[in-house]
Amino acid sequence: MNFWQTSRTPFFILAPMEDVTDTVFREVVLSVSDPSVLNVLFTEFTSVDGLLDERGHESVAQRLKVSASEQQLLRDRDTKLVAQIWGNEPEKFYRVAKFLTSLNLFDGVDINMGCPVKKVVKKNTCSALIQFPDLAKEIISATKEGSGLPVSVKTRIGFNTIATESWISHLLTCQLAAITIHGRTQKQLSEASANWDEIGKAVLLRNELSPSTKIIGNGDIESYMQGMDKINQYQLDGVMVGRGIFKNPWLFNTSESSVSREERLMLLQKHLELYAGFWGTDKNFQILKRFFKIYLNGFPGAGQLRAKLMETRHGNEAQSILEQELHLLPERA
């Protein structure tokens, strides 16, 4: 029995996102989430080629770093962490799966068969594997053989056109622990609305072909209640949240109460502190600027404050501006 079988359900999962879901951001989200809601987080997607390249290993392996403070939060909350990997050579998946298991940091391994970005699709990786079902199966088998951890796949409902029945049926023959399905084709990228009816079809296929495989829906979830509605409507085992977290870092809570200006400023402050403390000079401060809009919205003057922070050149400068803003707020009774 693996955690996909024994964990509380439904699953609410933070999606893997490039330059977003590092150990620092995961800890920030964990710190403001209800542990009875958020129960699985994914790392950034990590290239098996990069991990096995002596020259590139160190920089690529940053994506798999887990801070001591995040580890403690995960243990305290019984929340699971899954490493996501991508590539197209089964033998490399086998080697990386063994490596990930040896780290004793992760509860599962996920294979990216969903990213639609052209530069990875051109390499016949990620969502391109939908066009190469036999290779996809070889990759899954190699990963399962190399890993002592449960193996899952994140994918889409098709490549150029919808192919839910044939593609998801094929994956279900691999006896995966879980399949996360984004309700768009590769061709659609993030355009149009996610097709949840197709995700619902996958549940019926699962019931027939691989009853133990968990089916997770993904696409356009922006609140806890919206996630629960999809889970109930389509009888899903859970949902995965990606871009929705950019609108609301407090999304993984049962109550949807408003968040004060002070809480927003303090959470950004925490993010800056954790980033500086963990990464130091290993990561460029400029990467952090993509997060400013996540916290600084929904209150008067948010846009002006964001613009001010976007002009900063280092973390200390940004922290100083936030301190001034917090100092100007009226004292709480």
Residues annotated as catalytic (active site), given as ranges: 115
| ω into 10 cis (within 30 of 0) | yes
One-letter identity of residue 30 = L
- The structure tokens listed for 134 are 């036999």
CB 151 within 8 A of CB 109: yes
| CA-wise closest residue to 230 among 212, 243, 248, 218 | 218
Q: Where are the beta strands (DSSP E) in the chain?
A: 11-14, 38-47, 80-86, 108-113, 151-156, 178-182, 214-218, 238-241
Beta strands at 80-86 and 38-47: parallel, antiparallel or unpaired: parallel
How is 249-264 classified by DSSP, letter by letter? TT-SSS------HHHH
Q: Name, in order, each residue with C-beta under 8 angstroms of 42's C-beta and a sequence gap of 6 or more.
A: 13, 14, 15, 16, 21, 81, 82, 83, 84, 110, 240
Say how far apart CA 247 and CA 293 lie, in whole Å.
Answer: 8
Q: Tokens representing 176?
A: 């995966």
Give the C-alpha separation, 190 to 175, whole Å.
28
Question: Which letter, b or e, does each residue of 41-54 get, where b requires 16 or more Cβ atoms within 10 Å of its Cβ?
Answer: bbbbbbbbbbbbee
Which residue is it, tokens 């969502």? 127
